[in-house]
Amino acid sequence: MRHGQSRANRPLLTRAAVLAAATALLASASVPASAHTARTARHTAPPGHCAAARDALGARLDTLARRDGIPGVAAEVTGPDCGRWTVARGVADLDTGRPMSAGDRLRIGSVTKTFTATVVVQLAAEGRIALDAPVERYLPGLIRGNGHDGRRITVRQLLQHTSGLPDHVDAIAGQPLDQWRLRHYEPRELVALALTLPPPEPAWSYSTTNYVLAGLIVEQVTGHRVEAEIDRRVVRPLGLRDTYWPGDRTGIRGPHSHSYFPAPEPGDDPATGTGDTGTPLRDGTAWNMTIGGVGGALVSTPADLDRFYRALFGGRLLPARWLAEMKRTVPADPQRLWPGARYGLGLISSPLSCGGRWWGHGGTVPGGHRALGATGPDGSTVALALTKVPDTDRAEEEFLAAVDTALCHPYKESR
């Protein structure tokens, strides 16, 4: 569930909370646009602009697929100038050669965190959770020992990764892959694993454990499983028909892309299925995502993620005051590839080359799927899907450039 990490062998969502990846399509008619989006919707793109935008993004995806060894790459973009359009390169399944499609389901990893944070903030708006209350109020005695104390950590700090809690993923990652890839984890088990580790040194430190705890708080105050509460408050009201919790099911229902990671195993042929590192690719689609819980387990599609982010930023899920709380940010872990990135409550914010910032989240899952949903300042959105995590700095830079290209295409730069 790492939200982004430039090394493919890292299993879940990485501390570089800004390295994002794949998915934010726009079903523009389903969610009211903001006032700014409504104004920009009256613009008419100059002749050739939309084709140029598609070509520019297509060139980025070509590079990821051909030079950087990503088997399949897809994007869906929606904006006030060119409407909704998609670009895809490569294949969704190396065995069958089925072409990659922006309509396929995939594991969205840490994009799940925005869903969870939205429900926590909804409960705060209802007066049922206090964002600045200590975690101890809701989960007495759970966070204690080894330098950790729930009496000194607030709910807000969980959501913005300033809690000082380590990531349970780091406690699991050193174990042999096949010992944990398909096994079930309970949320409190994940918390206990995290608490065996010392506190991280940086003030801001990305940890999926924060969101596992946030989910337990939701359960405590509502009396319902957090997954059911997210379904009731977000998934069903928005009609997100392809978004679901897989539970212990290790496969993905319906049309979906496969995911891949470099991990040789007995019988692998080094001459086939390799990325640019030369390491054979292993199919990582089958995975038990209880390891991520409500910090990274959701399956979705770009179209659903688009609808979700448009609803969130269009005011359908939260009153303006509480959306503003989600957008109160702190500096994120200073990454060489992501200068200026900031983190709010389940939201990443990062500067764009054409001015302003995008808001959204990205996700990485251990099997190789990468997902990102992002909204630009004019209401444009992009959803990117990759079937393998970029495993070099060069590939990571190209991926981030694709996000920027989608939201800062030529017409916008010339305005």
Q: How far is CA 74 from the centre of its chain?
A: 15
Report the run of H or E that residue 326 belongs to, with start and end: helix 320-326
Q: What are the φ/ψ torsions at residue 358 (nearest 5 degrees)?
A: -100, 155
| Closest listed residue to residue 4, CA positions, set 353, 243, 375, 343 | 343
With beta carbons less than 8 A apart as the criterion, state whether 386 and 73 touch. yes
CA atoms within 13 A on the CB side of 122: 20
Q: Is 350 a catalytic residue?
A: no
Taking the C-alpha atoms of residue 303 and residue 385, their distance in angstroms, rounded to an integer, is 11
Which residue is catalytic, options 101, 110, 205, 259?
Answer: 110
Identity of the amino acid at 135? V
Burial per residue of 289-312, b for 16 or more beta-carbon CB atoms within 10 angstroms, e otherwise? bbbbbbbbbbbbbbbbbbbbbbbb
Q: Find, among 84, 64, 66, 68, the residue nearest to 76 by Cα.
A: 84
Tokens 């679901």, residue located:
244
Is the CB of residue 31 less than 8 Å from the CB of residue 312? no
Q: Classify residue 413 as exposed, middle or buried by CB count within 10 Å of its CB (0-12, 13-18, 19+).
A: exposed
Residue 298 CA to residue 246 CA, distance in Å, equals: 7
Residues with a known catalytic role: 110
